[in-house]
Chains A and B, each alone.
Chain A
Amino acid sequence: EAQVTQNPRYLITVTGKKLTVTCSQNMNHEYMSWYRQDPGLGLRQIYYSMNVEVTDKGDVPEGYKVSRKEKRNFPLILESPSPNQTSLYFCASTRQGTGELFFGEGSRLTVL
């Protein structure tokens, strides 16, 4: 089954404690991205990657890092989380030729 898998689905952490949200896709897509969803703001892109070792900033990259060492994986790293990073996070991969995004199930992150 074609899918994008994110972990963890839920996480409560404290300010400053580094965390990583993993993302993996099994569709051999080159393009992957991370979004955060906040009420009244829709989804905003954090970072994207066009292929292995190729990443770039989206609209709201501050406080986040990413890496793309393998085609299937695109982890999101919060080096020093702060309360304003409390949000719902989505990883997505894109089918070339159609632009259709396939989303993971979302990761609800709370930073205290």
Chain B
Amino acid sequence: AQTVTQSQPEMSVQEAETVTLSCTYDTSENNYYLFWYKQPPSRQMILVIRQEAYKQQNATENRFSVNFQKAAKSFSLKISDSQLGDTAMYFCAFMKGETSGSRLTFGEGTQLTVNP
């Protein structure tokens, strides 16, 4: 079974600064996908970024980027130029195999607060 661990229950950052959220996972699979989801106070789950395990290049989406270390089974999220609207719970998630919609395993979440 796969496990996903987010070791930082809470983090804070000043507006305009950079913050990195950690995520590690455990799997024996070679083909899988990793995701970061954001959950603001509205409770809506929003996809932030997605990474295919077979791709060596780290995914980026505007101010969001990942550091994917496959051998170390690490998948951290870097948020640059933090904005107040980035305040949210962030979940790391793992999906094995083909993207037909198989089970998504989530980490415990990291509550990020951006301070003005």
Contacts and interface: CB of A to CB of B under 8 A. Distances in A.
Interface in A51-103: 58-59, 88, 90, 92, 94, 96-101, 103
B104 interface: yes
Given A30-B101, A48-B103, A50-B101, A103 B44 contact: yes
Given A40-B108, A42-B106, A42-B109, A98 B99 contact: yes
Interface size class of B (residues with CB under 8 A): 20 to 34
A55 B100 CA distance: 14
A99 B45 contact: no
Interface string B68-94: 000000000000000000000001010
29 contacts: A29-B101, A31-B100, A35-B106, A40-B108, A41-B108, A42-B4, A42-B91, A42-B106, A42-B107, A42-B109, A45-B103, A45-B104, A50-B101, A59-B103, A88-B43, A92-B45, A96-B100, A96-B101, A98-B50, A98-B99, A99-B50, A99-B101, A100-B35, A100-B47, A100-B50, A101-B47, A101-B104, A105-B43, A106-B44
Top 3 nearest A-B pairs by Cβ distance? A31-B101, A94-B101, A99-B99
Interface of B: 4, 6, 9, 33, 35, 42-45, 47, 50, 91, 93, 95, 99-101, 103-104, 106-109
